[in-house]
Amino acid sequence: MRKIRLLDLGDVSPVRSQTCYHAAAYMLGNASPDTIILVSPADPYVCIGYHQDLDKEIDREFCRTHGLPVFRREVGGGAVYLDRDQLFSQWIFHPETLPSDIGARFRLYIEPLVKAYHDLGIPAEHRPVNDVHVRGKKIGGTGAALIGGAEVLVGSFMFDFDKPTMARVLRVASEKMRDKVFQSLQDYMTTIQDELGRRPERRRVVDLYIRRCAEALDAEIVPGEWTPEEEAKAAELDRLFGSAAWLDQKGSFRRPGIRIHEDVRVHESALKAPGGLVRITLRLKEEKIDDITISGDFTILPRTAVREIEEALRGATAEPRTVLEVISDKYRDDRIQSPGLGPADWAEAFSLALKS
């Protein structure tokens, strides 16, 4: 039977919780075994995706004053706050031992996570492409990358999650936006603690997960040793990942909004119209307006008009044309007056939010 090396590294430094799988990937040779690493950071930190621009994603000053180191990984995805309440699962495999199709690769990786959650009594499910959900709430995301000659897949078990700190480390345009991000994390994210009201022993979770990995991969998973060559490479990467040159390189891609999970994003915009400043903070779920807050410096009558517009937009398709139609109907039906500010301005503000 095929054998896969297991490295349970326990608690390590924040940077090593990222560089360990990079080092194993770079040192993967033809004779090297496929490897599963299990690891948790001993202390909190913030990690950004490979393609992100640090200063557009993270409040660097907040992180500095609160002693939160920031690192850039070589796997894509978004910025995230991490601490010892997460148990990372990192697969470092030869490309030929995994499906070539990325969707199938994620399904294979996520299957043991989902089944281990079920073993714990949590009804998790795979939410394509690469999320794990429980009754519509995200309990974990996964990522993939080609590092060196290895295919790498990463994810985690979410024992608990510090949602207030996650909302605080992100760079956002306003405190209203931050409040919306925090509320969205509350509404659309869950953890083992949230689901069970307790934390199972780490050893139990590891045993369940490894058994499910062995089934999914049809392999024997055998405890192995971290090699001197991997340690040397990891030490080199520890220094690189902490360097300004690596951290401050400009990302090449930023998807608009802040992603809560595959179906939920938070956006914000500010538009200076002739009638004053309009600020829109909105949450989209499955490309529909799930929640929206309108504020600013403008005059509008009746005084309940803003609340009525917000209510009318909830559930609408997230398209500027639809927004224009809904607001135009409200202006007509409720005889709304707003000097220097009309339905077209609202639609423009909404369009700007979708791009931000």
What 3-state DSSP class applies to 235?
Answer: helix
* Cβ–Cβ < 8 Å for 189, 275: no
Which domains are present in the chain? 3-247 (3.30.930.10), 263-355 (3.30.390.50)
Residue 217: burial class (beta carbons within 10 Å; 0-12, 13-18, 19+): buried
pLDDT digits (tens, 9 = 90+) for 7-24: 999 999 999 999 999 999
293-295-301-305 Cα dihedral, nearest 10 degrees = 0
Low-confidence ranges of the chain (pLDDT < 70): 250-255
Q: Kindly report, residue by residue over 316-335, the tens digit of the pLDDT.
A: 998 889 999 999 999 999 99
Q: How far apart are CA 297 and CA 229, in angstroms?
A: 61
Considering the entire predicted model, what is its pTM?
A: 0.81
Residue 254: its pLDDT value, please? 52
Tens digits of residue pLDDT in 23-51: 999 999 999 999 999 999 999 999 998 87
pLDDT tens for 222-250 read 999 999 999 999 999 999 998 988 998 76
Q: What percent of the chain has pLDDT over 90?
A: 69
CA distance 235 to 16: 8
Query: What tokens does 147 get?
Result: 């590092």
What SS3 state is found at 285? strand
- Token look-up 């994390």 returns 185
Quickly tell me which residue has 């148990």 as its tokens: 87
